[in-house]
Amino acid sequence: MNNLIINIYIFISFISMYNLENKSIILYLLLIFQLMMFSLNLYFLLKRKNIKISKGIFLILLITIFSLIFNINTLGNYIINIVLIFNIYILTKYRWNYVYKRIFLYANIFNIINMFLYKYSTRIYGVPKVILGHTLPKILVPQIWVASLSLIAVYSLFSINLIKNKLLKIFIVFLSVSLIIVAGKFTTILALLIAGIIYLLNSKFFLLSSKKILKYSLKAMLTICFCSPFIFYYFTIVYNEFLNTKVVDVSSLFSGRHLLWVDYINYIYDNKFQILVGNGFFSDEKKISYLSHPHNQYLTIFYTLGILGFIIYYLFYLKVIDESIKIKKQYPNLFMILIVIIFEMCGDDYFILTINPLNLIIIFLIYNSKYNINSIKILKNRKRILKRTKYNRYYNKPSIVKEKEDEK
């Protein structure tokens, strides 16, 4: 795929995270690019006569189509989601290295833009969170949502292993951490702390030094996160008195999300058949709670695609964890971001089943990382053979190919 198209696609994806006056125009542009890329990717595969899609992606596409059959009223959203998954899978499979570098480059650019927004825009002071008696401030700017700002800062923070200049590294770390703290998004701060602890424990002197222990620990963490809305649902029923104590202000801590989770889970339980096939994508017409989505990605998966989709996405993320452990030494930033995303999905639902591709690109970069690593190995092997061939020619020695032919 053309580099210009990829750059425009990623650029528009970042722009769509901002709360701009012409937001609908940007989303339409993103949609047009999705459809254009779908056509180009399909043509590319047909030309290669090699349409191979991994089992995990095939199952995700299959369960999405299955859910669509029973929720035809949100047909447009299903088509967008199918096109998005297909595009990002092909993009990260065949242009892995280029997409990897561009995502973090644009993250740094937009992170610096956000710094200027905080400097020169009107500041809005949000409701602070009170955690164990400590107040976490929240300072907002009208041009960008807190979740988007925090996410861009996280991507920028983990771009430092691509930066060679030490002063620039220090600047990016300082800027990213400052914006994350000022934004006051508790889920992001907690996810970063957990990711940092896991990374430290994974050193050879600590508990999670074994790959097997690390893998099982991350998969246990993923399982808890996937079940988080249901765990909390039953927790509120059994321990309602504890939640009303002053030790933890639940309403402040979860920003009212716990009420959303209860409403959406009750709705799911009341529609038995939809538990299997899903309820389709969210719409303003269907009023379930005080917000049109539950602010929990795992609950969104269950609501949209049903229990079958929930299981398939769970298995998919188990595979992503396996791949992240394999590339942890070479790409520690992707490993850390995955942990952050897994925890962030407990409090937000803009990572998958949405029109914005950024978070899904990161997930698919990890999922398809083997293609990049294999291509590097092949390239190194070719260079080694070429170097050896030139050496043999210089000293009038038979080449490797000649030796093999003589043996035959």
Question: Cα(398)–Cα(155) distance, rounded to whole angstroms?
Answer: 51
**Please, are residues 141 and 123 in contact by the beta-carbon 8 Å criterion?**
yes
Q: H helices within 202-296, ranges in order?
A: 211-226, 228-238, 240-243, 250-253, 257-270, 272-277
* Maximal C-alpha separation, the chain: 86
Q: What is the pTM of this model?
A: 0.85
Question: Cα(7)–Cα(13) distance, rounded to whole angstroms?
Answer: 10
Nearby residues of 136 by Cβ (< 8 Å), 6 or more positions away: 128, 129, 130, 184, 186, 189
- The pairing of strands 139-140 and 134-136 is unpaired
**Please, are residues 152 and 15 in contact by the beta-carbon 8 Å criterion?**
no
DSSP H or E run through 168: helix 166-183
Structure-block tokens of residue 294:
């539950």
Question: Cα(374)–Cα(93) distance, rounded to whole angstroms?
Answer: 11
Q: Which residue has the tokens 């991994």?
A: 54
Letter for the amino acid at 308? L
Which pLDDT score is estimated for 206? 65
3-state helix, strand, coil in the chain (%, to 5): 75, 5, 25
CA 236 vs CA 93, 181, 294: distances in Å: 43, 29, 16
Question: Cα(190)–Cα(320) distance, rounded to whole angstroms?
Answer: 22
- Going residue by residue through the chain, which has 408 residues, state the pLDDT in tens, using 9 for 90 and above: 678 888 999 999 999 888 887 778 888 888 888 888 888 888 888 887 767 788 999 999 999 999 999 999 989 899 999 999 999 999 999 899 999 999 999 999 999 999 998 888 877 776 666 655 566 667 777 888 888 899 999 999 999 989 889 999 999 999 999 999 888 788 888 899 999 888 888 776 666 667 888 899 999 999 999 999 898 888 777 666 555 554 445 554 555 677 788 888 989 988 888 899 999 998 767 778 777 788 899 999 999 999 999 999 999 999 999 999 999 888 999 999 999 999 999 988 888 888 888 999 999 999 999 888 665 665 566 666 666 665 555 555 444 444 444 444
Give per-residue burial for 173-210: e unless 16+ CB within 10 Å, then b. Answer: bebbeebbbbbbbbbbbbbbeebeebbeebeeeeebee
Which pLDDT score is estimated for 349? 86
Nearby residues of 368 by Cβ (< 8 Å), 6 or more positions away: 89, 92, 93, 96
Which pLDDT score is estimated for 156? 95
Which pLDDT score is estimated for 159? 92
**Please, are residues 61 and 82 in contact by the beta-carbon 8 Å criterion?**
yes
Give per-residue burial for 301-330: e unless 16+ CB within 10 Å, then b. Answer: bbbbbbebbbbbbbebbbebbebbbbbbee
Nearest partner of 310 among 366, 217, 215, 229, judged by Cα: 229
CA 321 centroid distance within chain = 12
Structure-block tokens of residue 19:
């709360």
For 100-114, give the DSSP string. Answer: HHHHHHHHHHHHHHH
Which pLDDT score is estimated for 143? 82
What 8-state DSSP symbol labels residue 348? Answer: -
Structure-block tokens of residue 384:
């080694």
Which pLDDT score is estimated for 405? 45
